[in-house]
Structures are given as structure tokens and as C-alpha cells.
Chains A and B, each alone.
Chain A
């Protein structure tokens, strides 16, 4: 069977599974559509949350980011540490509050339609930004494995999501996410186990990474340090000098994670407050399976790539281009690997482009490798059978679809529940609200498909904005709403506007106003940044400003009414939560 047929079989079978699950788990009421009936156990919810959270970027691109070296450890700590904040500061209390959406809590706690509307806007901005990346991620996965155009891939992906999200709502999405988690974690860990076995003799990548390299007998990370140093790169484990920026970047990712609406609403689906706590723990266990494997994949795949190019060691002549392995040829066709023989010696010199190796007769780095290769080509580099490649294809698509579905649900419930049911027409019947929810979902999918097909040129920067918004507005607002009785409506709104404005303006100054290229006020280089803080790290500073302004304004104005203080009191105690209810 050809590789193409194997990939088709795996991806096709996974689609049949997802749609089958959706038909079995149809949503029959708004409660089932928004919160899966509130009856999902903590372990399945943990799996669903993990699939919801781990996007196409986590699956395909994260190992590549980590392979740069120690400095990008921020992604590992930042995208996991947020779950500690969720478990202790947000999830149990929002579950006790017991309604359907994040703006529901904001609107009631800050007794204001204005606050609810600001929350809806922050939610839509964050979620729509994110969904663009998922659609293009799905398109890329299709294009690479199924020989269709990236655009056709996006249409196929949106058709599949359409079927199971519109029919199943949160209930269908939850159970498909459980299946998608299983597919994606198998696809990620199986090649990692084999690579670890080949390089270190240890089948557990997390341990192999800190073990000895079989060929050289040296510790793997020291071998890697030595190889990259000889090619003019920085040591793999080298420390960073700008610790302030690394701390703030990690913090922004953590509180941004805790403030992402599509993650928070997953905790509304469990039966009890205690389940919300354990669900966060299980989610992190399932996420950690991938996130602790990623650094092992990063270091091993980088070493593998370099030893492929320098089979006799970096001191010896590089590999002849005509003798390159089959997997290099395969990925050259996709453009993810490019070779240009600058010194016409027929060999592949691959090294840090800014380093000078003219003494060895090298005329510049000759190999350009897209860092996604570290995951995508892993099975081929390790000579694994064709079905593992099929599994990677299905896994990458599962990662994109599961996150897209979670985001689309957050978007559609904000529109049908918060805008239509609560603000525009409170008298809407249950049946019509369901219809409105399904129509908003369908429209959201069409918008996401359109944006995936025509991604704004600034898609990459917008992800920074999404984390900035969630970190500087949604997280502080929710946390203050729970932990302070004294924060009133005007305090919360001023804090949110101040934190959001500061963050967005700081990002625009360096990345261009409204992301229009060339309109940035200052070049985006470390010497222009305020105290060396990059625009990607500024969300945590925005959050501090939000807290400070909110408290200052709230203490200068009247405390919130009695019934709101009682509401704060009630979310703090698990007793009497019951299942999630409508108004």
C-alpha cells in the first residue's frame, strides 16, 4: 500500500470516528449544547481539555521552538503553569457560579451589561484570532500528508467540524475531543519512543533526554552542546542574560492560558466543584504527556538532523548532496527543506548563518530547514513503518480540529447566549435559543474558514495579541471578581480598559498599528523595548496595571450592592452548587 493510501486510511478512519461520536452524542437541550449537560467526569473532561488546549501549533511547531535551546523553555513552563492558576484561582468558583459562559459571570458579578459586553468583545477577539491558526494548521496538515491543496484541506476540515460541532454542541465536541486526544498523543509519543531508543537506548524520551548518547558515550545534551557549538550556534543549554523578559514572558503565557475562555468553559461541564479541581489536575497530566515529550523530541531530532548532515562528525566534510537520505528528498518537495550549493562543492554545509567558516571553504549556510520538520519528519528519520506516518497525519489534524471546535463553541455561545439571549431578546424560547446557537456556530465556522483561506498577513503577531488580551483583561477581571468583595463595576471596567489599552498599544508600537506592516513607531529590537520587555511579554505587565487601577478606582467609589457581595460569598463555598443552570 502506498504511503498516500495509508495516510488516507488513517485520516479517513479518524473522521468516521468523530462523526459517529457526534451522532451518538447529539445535543438535545441548550444545557447539553453549552455545557454537555454538566455530566462529564473529571478524567474524560481532563482529556477533552487537553485536546482543546493542545493546538496544531503545540503538535506541529512546539518541538521546533524548543529546539532553539533553553531560552524557549518559557513555552513549556508557561503553557502548563497556567493550569495551577486555573485549579486554584478560577475553575472551582466559576463552576460553583454554575452558568454557561464566561461573560455570564462577568455580567452578574459586575452587575452591568457594559461589563458583559466588554467580556464578550475580549472573548471574541481572543477566540477568533486563535481559530485562524487552527484552520490554517489543518490546511497545512492536509497539504503535507494527503496531496491536496492547502485550501481544499481547509474546506474538508471545516466540513468535518461543521457536522460534529453543529449537531453535537459541547456534548459532541467533548466526546470527539476525548477520541482526538488519544489519536494525537499516540501520534506524538510513538515516534518519540523509537527516536529515544535509537539515540539513548532508553524507551522513555523524558529520561533518555538526560541519559547518554549511544554513539558517543557522552551525555546526550553535552553531545548536542558540543555539536552545535562547533557549527557556530549558541550552546543548547546556554543561559539567557535577559531574565526579566523571560520571567514576564512565562508569566504572560501562564495567566493568558488561565484566561482563555475556551479552556475555562470546559470546567463548566463537570458535575461538581470538587470535580473542577481534579479535572484541572487530569488535564495537566494529559497535557504534560506531550509537553514533557516535546523537549526530548526537540533535542534528539536536532542532534539527529545534524548527524545526518555530518555523518562523520562536524570536523569532517559534510554529506554529499547526491547521497542525501530519502526523507530529505521527500520534504524538499514540500519546500520545508531547501538546499543551495553556495560553494559548489556538492556537499551540504549546514551551520549558523551568522558564523564565519570561510577557513573551511564554506560560503554561507546552504540548508534551510523549517523547524516543523522536527515533528513531521520524525517517523521517517527514525525509519519507522508507514503506519506511523499515517498516525502523525491523523494526529496533526486531530490537534487542529479539537482546538478549532472548542473555540467555535466559545464563540457561538457568546453570540447566542450572551448577545442574543441576555442582551437582545431575554424572552427567547429554549428551542429558538438552540437554533440561534446552531446558526451562530455555522456562521462562526464560515468566518473561520474564510479567515483560514485568506489569513491576514499578521496572523502570527495576532497570537501574541490573543495572549496579551486574555492575560491583561480576562484573567484579572475573573480573579478579582472571586477574591475581592470590594471590586465594583466601575473599578473592574476601568481596570480592564487600562490593562487592555496599555498592552495593545505597547504591542502596536513595535508590531505596527493594527498590525499594518511598516506602521510601527519603533523598530522591534531589544534595545528599544521598555526595560528590555518584548511585546510578547507585556501582557503580564498589563495585568498588573489592570489590578492596580481596578483597586484604586473601586476603593474611591461605592462598594457593590449587597446581592453582588452575596454572590461573591456563594461562589467561594462548594455547598449547593448543583448542575449548571440557565437564568
Chain B
């Protein structure tokens, strides 16, 4: 029972770490590159616009998709590792 419990706790904290890491990237690309840090990136041009503009209108959406599929892949692996999959 104790074993089962610590196993579950390890699974949950691994999930929380994964979510935290993903959300840092999520915020960095949208709120960071797309909005707040945009003036700092204005020197980097992507076809007629600056990098911040690209992130606000295209880049962040692609990163969001990648993040969800990365999270799915890691979680499916965690589910199996901890024997918690369906």
C-alpha cells in the first residue's frame, strides 16, 4: 500500500513538472516573444516582419500544437512506466 502510494505520488509530481515546463514555453512564445519581448527581437526579420510579429500571428500557434503532442507522448510513456495506463 505504501509502495502504491509513493508510486502514485511520483507519477503526479512528474506530471506537474511536465506541465510546468510546458507552460513556461507556452508563455514564453506567446506572452514573451509575441508581446512583451517583441521590441527586443525587432532586429530579427522574418520576410518583411520582425520575429515578434511572426510569433504573434503564426509561430506561437505552431508551438502550442507541438507542446500538446509532446505532452501526450511524455504522459503516455509515464502512464506505462508507472503501470497506470488504461
> Is the pairing of A and B real?
yes
Interface residues of chain A, those whose CB is within 8 Å of chain B, are 66, 70, 73, 76-77, 80-81, 83-84, 87-89, 92, 206, 209-212, 218-223, 237, 239, 243, 246-247, 250-251, 272-274, 277-278, 280-281, 284-285, 288, 291-292, 295, 569, 572-577
Contacts of A218 in B (CB 8 A): 48
- Whether A284 lies near B71 (C-beta < 8 A) is no
Contact partner, B72, options A219, A281, A577, Cβ 8 Å? A281
Interface residues of chain B, those whose CB is within 8 Å of chain A, are 8, 11-12, 15, 19, 22-23, 26, 30-31, 34-36, 38-39, 42, 46-50, 52-54, 56-58, 60-62, 64-65, 67-69, 71-72, 75-76, 79, 83-86
Between-chain CB contacts (< 8 Å), 7 pairs:
A76-B60, A81-B30, A84-B67, A237-B49, A237-B50, A239-B42, A280-B68
Q: What is the distance, in angstroms, from A72's C-beta to the closest C-beta of chain B? A: 10
Query: Please, how many angstroms separate the alpha-carbon atoms of A313 and B51 in the complex?
Result: 29
- Whether B61 lies near A291 (C-beta < 8 A) is yes
- Whether B30 lies near A250 (C-beta < 8 A) is yes
- Whether A211 lies near B58 (C-beta < 8 A) is no
- Whether B61 lies near A76 (C-beta < 8 A) is yes
- Whether B72 lies near A274 (C-beta < 8 A) is yes
- Whether B12 lies near A274 (C-beta < 8 A) is no
Query: Please, how many angstroms separate the alpha-carbon atoms of A239 and B49 in the complex?
Result: 11
- Whether A76 lies near B56 (C-beta < 8 A) is yes
Contacts of A81 in B (CB 8 A): 26, 30, 60, 64
Contacts of B75 in A (CB 8 A): 92, 274, 277
The secondary structure that dominates the B interface is: helix
Q: What is the distance, in angstroms, from B31's C-beta to the closest C-beta of chain A? A: 5
- Contact (A88, B23) CB under 8 Å given A210-B47, A573-B11: yes
Instruction: Name which residue of chain A comes closest to B64, CB basis.
Output: A84
Contact partner, B49, options A212, A221, A277, A576, Cβ 8 Å? A221
- Contact (A87, B68) CB under 8 Å given A77-B61, A575-B84: yes
Contacts of B46 in A (CB 8 A): 210
- Whether B71 lies near A88 (C-beta < 8 A) is yes
Query: Please, how many angstroms separate the alpha-carbon atoms of A573 and B49 in the complex?
Result: 45
Contact partner, A84, options B42, B53, B56, B68, Cβ 8 Å? B68
Contacts of B62 in A (CB 8 A): 288, 292
Instruction: Name which residue of chain B comes closest to A238, CB basis.
Output: B53
Contact partner, A221, options B47, B76, B84, Cβ 8 Å? B47
- Whether A87 lies near B71 (C-beta < 8 A) is yes
Query: Please, how many angstroms separate the alpha-carbon atoms of A387 and B86 in the complex?
Result: 48
Interface centre among B8, B46, B58, B75 (most CB of A within 10 A): B58
Query: Please, how many angstroms separate the alpha-carbon atoms of A277 and B71 in the complex?
Result: 8
Q: What is the distance, in angstroms, from A282's C-beta to the closest C-beta of chain B? A: 9
- Whether B71 lies near A237 (C-beta < 8 A) is no
Contacts of B39 in A (CB 8 A): 239
Query: Please, how many angstroms separate the alpha-carbon atoms of A576 and B85 in the complex?
Result: 8
Query: Please, how many angstroms separate the alpha-carbon atoms of A250 and B64 in the complex?
Result: 14
Instruction: Give me the 10 closest cross-chain CB pairs, A-B, nearest first.
Output: A219-B48, A210-B47, A73-B56, A221-B48, A281-B68, A277-B72, A295-B57, A87-B68, A575-B84, A77-B30
Interface centre among B26, B35, B84 (most CB of A within 10 A): B35
Q: A84-B23, A84-B64, A281-B65 are in contact. List 15 more A-B contacts (CB 8 A).
A: A77-B61, A81-B64, A84-B67, A84-B68, A87-B71, A88-B68, A210-B47, A210-B54, A218-B48, A219-B47, A243-B36, A247-B36, A274-B86, A281-B68, A285-B65
- Whether A77 lies near B86 (C-beta < 8 A) is no
Query: Please, how many angstroms separate the alpha-carbon atoms of A281 and B31 in the complex?
Result: 21
- Whether B22 lies near A88 (C-beta < 8 A) is yes
